[in-house]
Chain A
Amino acid sequence: MTTDHHMQNLLAAVTEALMADDGDDLDTIVSQYAVPRTEVEGFISIIQRLHHTLVGAAPSRRFVGRLKRDLIGNHRQGVVARIRYLPPRVQIAAGAALVAGFMLLTWRRMMDDTRREKQEMVTL
């Protein structure tokens, strides 16, 4: 492995340690690589400055909430998707209610037809 590779691995390890707020062990990390200490110090200083300077600028909660509403708030789920996650008991009850309702409607219509036929017979 060339010195460049050692240096690249060392810089990666130092950066990871700093990002993980584990900067106390930098000496231990540096000692694990065959790179002269004097060459590394300048880079470590820059990495530390980058770590302290490039801090995040978080978005406002308002923006995050508003965008989420824009993205998915207006998307209505279909009936099937809504029913899919219901407990089986509720699913069975819903199915039974639908069937019962359908039967009731059919029965009422049949009853109406029969009553009408009877009335017509009486008038005749």
Chain B
Amino acid sequence: MASTSLERELKRGSAEVLILALLERRQRHGYEIGRLIDERSDGAITFHVASLYPTLYRLEDKGFIEGRWVERSGQRRRRYYRLTAAGRKVLASQRNVWGQFFAALNRVARIRHA
């Protein structure tokens, strides 16, 4: 039981990092983000697409990402998300933190990366 709740928390934290990471290079819309996470995590982390939008809104609320409507000819208008400067810093530090966290876990409990 406990190990599954631990997993859930880890994944929730990781979902934000994943989204920020996906937006690092270019702006993307919601469906695309969901699909990419699904594809890239490839079962190792099953990211629930239902919680995608709440996570996006939370990140937007925090000011890490910024969404805006974009209309392209021949397509319906879509909401694209891009990383803000703050989000970029958070991503960098989160990467660092996760690195430290795993290193620390490794030192304390002698376990390897999941």
Q: Do A and B bind each other?
A: no
Question: Which residues of B line the A interface, CB within 8 A?
Answer: none
Question: Which residues of A line the B interface, CB within 8 A?
Answer: none
